Amino acid sequence: MKLNILKDDLNESIQHVSKAISSRTAIPILTGIKIDVQPNGVTLTASDTEISIQSFIPPEKDGTAAVEIITPGSVVLPAKFFTEIIKKLPSRDVTIEVKENFLTWIRSGSAEIQIVGLDPEEYPLLPQLEENEVLNVSSDLLKAMIRQTTFAVSTSETSPILTGVLWNFSQDRLKLIACDRLRMASRESHIDSNNSLNFQNIVIAGKSLNELNKLLPDQNMMVDIVVANNQVLFKMDTILFYTRMLDGTYPDTSKLIPQSFQTELTIDTRKLADAIDRAYLLSREEKTNIVKMTLKDENTVEISSSSSELGKVKEEIDAHTLSGELLSISFNSKYMLDALKVIDSDYIQICFRGAMQPIIMKPEDHSNMLHLIMPYRTTG
Amino acid sequence: MKLNILKDDLNESIQHVSKAISSRTAIPILTGIKIDVQPNGVTLTASDTEISIQSFIPPEKDGTAAVEIITPGSVVLPAKFFTEIIKKLPSRDVTIEVKENFLTWIRSGSAEIQIVGLDPEEYPLLPQLEENEVLNVSSDLLKAMIRQTTFAVSTSETSPILTGVLWNFSQDRLKLIACDRLRMASRESHIDSNNSLNFQNIVIAGKSLNELNKLLPDQNMMVDIVVANNQVLFKMDTILFYTRMLDGTYPDTSKLIPQSFQTELTIDTRKLADAIDRAYLLSREEKTNIVKMTLKDENTVEISSSSSELGKVKEEIDAHTLSGELLSISFNSKYMLDALKVIDSDYIQICFRGAMQPIIMKPEDHSNMLHLIMPYRTTG
């Protein structure tokens, strides 16, 4: 294997795949990045068995040569050292050549590096997915849907299925749900699928989705989603992102949502978030995060927290509209802030069924998103 | 105590003093920031006993009112919560009022905060320094001198005195020395003192100097240095920075520096640093940091490192001038990089007395700076 390549292109591609490198892995070859050089381009692969990422560098980019392939072949190079040394090479041109026993020579300007490579035959094969049914989603929408749900997954391994986000697609509606017993976030959207595509109970680890989100481009483009066996593949322009599905059956969360309410409030999203943020500062010091919302009259919402050691924070905000019974309810302010942060609408609707019942929050201008937060049972 | 103050000014002042707050302190009141309100302005104080910082907010700034003092007084407020809540207040105007038992009310826009304050009488007094003898130094020079030496202090507590930087001033020359047995950095400069000022064996903890450096302004101004008893005071525009001197006698480092050399090399600082940086990447993986410099002929310097597991890095750089015996010498590349980073001259002079003797490095264009690095005794 021998090729000339531009440092910046190689570097960019390494950055893409390196998100799948785990420093602690039971499979030593997975500490490496696999490089495949074929006449049609260069493919880099990294995997931590949960996720696998491939990044492709075509011979030409925007009409200028990026890669000159001299001899096809492949090798696995230790990820950490390879990543760092490529970043710091002195010239924009890099020559990589694999010699006997996978000893790999890297030359750039006056620098000459030999890296002990590994046999690419030992590198695990990526899953082969049948691409009969492909869902085509815009990357901006995908990014928003992931951001608006993934924060709510459980971080506890006692119910592994809750560390993932549930993906359902039927009747051209994609719905994502994350839930950790004390809160829930769901987001749905209409997506044209042009066929009878339909999948249920696809659960993808929140950690994997966070990595995927970093790879989704700043500029909007279409992403193909392929679901097959126990894998989901997200296909971007030059990047393939594979993730394993979590085993198990995701609980039915629809039962959590009350069907009728005693009180409905609409309020300025930003003002509420800022007031809760201040009250949170105090409650965080107490390590409880408890903040109280009191509906004082049909125009006034009071946000407060108090700590015997530190003091009190209190603030009144105008309600935009308020109907139904007045009440006082305590909740985990961190959870409330997480939800408010991902609601892009100017006003939100908050529905209450009583101080001991779940709080339901929706953007005021559409019903594609729903957040649920369990209240604290306090005596206050 | 009651005052109206602009949030941004208060916030800036809190940021200044908060560098002296330690979350772990045996003296509970030192987890707080002391606020003194006098007719001539507001003073904030924080201290961790090693360093103490005061920041002063005058009633007027640039001709506009920054503070309106209603009732003088003082209070100590818990630093962490106070710092965070001020940052997040909703309005640019803040009213702070101390009521009974030091309960402190903060009002800003719709937000109302009560903080349990502490008795300022319990706050330790700052040292009173006699300002008979003051050294007046430009902040840019001070910043450079601290940056160019402090990195070389020892991090080991086995010789506490070596965790500090030695400050000597005599005959209008200020000299700073840091040393950790395997390396040394010294920097000196001429400073007009207009009197017979003279101090020796002033040792200031590296940690304190790093904090001071963060407080030194971006724009050059004059800083007064006052040395008295066991304290050094750095007086900036609106900031006072007090630091304790370390106890003990700093070792005589002049004996470490060889008086004659076998080999003298001058070389491009940046090119050498970049080549060593690449070799360092490999040696760091081996956790040795050992890099070898080989003077191959009078034009050629080779930088290399090798690892049985990972491979090799090798690079040749042109010597600018090279005279004396050729040699091969191994050293801690991290130490060498630290020194190269603070040398601002385009070329450096490196002097060798043999593979087992200290390496001496100086900027090629002046003799105000000297770095010493002990070689590794290798068989290579």
CA distance A257 to chain B (A): 33
The CA distance from B199 to B187, in Å, is 16
The CA distance from A188 to A197, in Å, is 16
- The answer to whether B63 faces chain A, any CB pair under 8 Å, is no
Chain A 107-126, residues with CB within 8 Å of chain B CB atoms? 110-116
Nearest to A116 among B277, B311, B316 (CB): B311
The CA distance from A327 to A343, in Å, is 24
Tens-digit pLDDT profile for residues B54-109: 999 999 888 888 899 999 999 999 999 999 999 999 999 999 999 999 999 999 99
Nearest to A85 among B89, B116, B278 (CB): B278
Q: For the residues B119-136, what does the mean pLDDT come to?
A: 90
The beta-strand segments (E) located in A89-247 are 93-98, 103-108, 111-116, 134-138, 164-170, 173-179, 183-190, 199-205, 222-228, 231-235, 239-244
- The answer to whether A103 faces chain B, any CB pair under 8 Å, is yes
Query: What residue type is A221 in one-letter code?
Result: M
pLDDT (tens, 9 = 90+) of chain A, 380 residues, equals: 999 999 999 999 999 999 999 877 889 999 999 999 999 999 999 999 999 999 999 998 888 888 999 999 999 999 999 999 999 999 999 999 999 999 999 999 999 999 999 999 999 999 888 887 899 999 999 999 999 999 999 999 899 999 999 999 999 999 999 999 899 999 999 999 876 789 999 999 999 999 999 999 999 999 999 998 899 999 999 999 999 999 999 999 999 999 999 999 999 999 999 999 999 999 998 889 999 999 999 999 999 999 988 999 999 999 999 999 999 999 999 999 999 999 999 999 999 999 999 999 999 999 999 999 999 986 54
CATH architecture observed for domain A134-254: Roll (3.10)
CA dihedral of residues B129, B130, B135, B139 (deg, nearest 10): 30
Give the pLDDT band of residue B378 (cuts 50, 70, 90).
low
Task: Report residue B243: phi and psi, to 5°.
Answer: -140, 145
CA distance A236 to chain B (A): 32
Tens-digit pLDDT profile for residues B261-290: 999 999 999 999 999 999 999 999 888 999
Secondary structure of chain B: what % helix, strand, coil (to 5)?
25, 45, 30
CATH no. for B257-376: 3.70.10.10
Nearest to B281 among A85, A104, A309 (CB): A85
Q: In chain B, how long is the greatest CA-to-CA distance?
A: 80
Q: Where in chain A is the domain with CATH 3.70.10.10?
A: 257-376
Chain A 306-365, residues with CB within 8 Å of chain B CB atoms? 309-317
- The answer to whether A101 faces chain B, any CB pair under 8 Å, is no
Q: Where in chain B is the domain with CATH 3.10.150.10?
A: 2-122, 134-254
The CA distance from A167 to A176, in Å, is 5
Question: Cβ of A103 and B311 within 8 Å?
Answer: yes
Q: Which one of B112, B280, B337 makes the best mutation probe of the A interface by having the most chain A beta carbons within 10 Å? A: B112
Question: Cβ of A115 and B310 within 8 Å?
Answer: yes
Q: Please tell me the class of the B2-122 domain.
A: alpha beta
pLDDT at residue A380 in the model: 47
Q: DSSP state, B15?
A: H
The CA distance from A185 to A342, in Å, is 10
Nearest to A285 among B81, B311, B312 (CB): B81
Chain A residues whose CB is inside 8 A of the B317 CB are 110
Nearest-Å Rg of the Cα atoms of chain B is 25
- The answer to whether A100 faces chain B, any CB pair under 8 Å, is no
Question: Cβ of B278 and A111 within 8 Å?
Answer: yes
Nearest to A309 among B116, B312, B315 (CB): B116
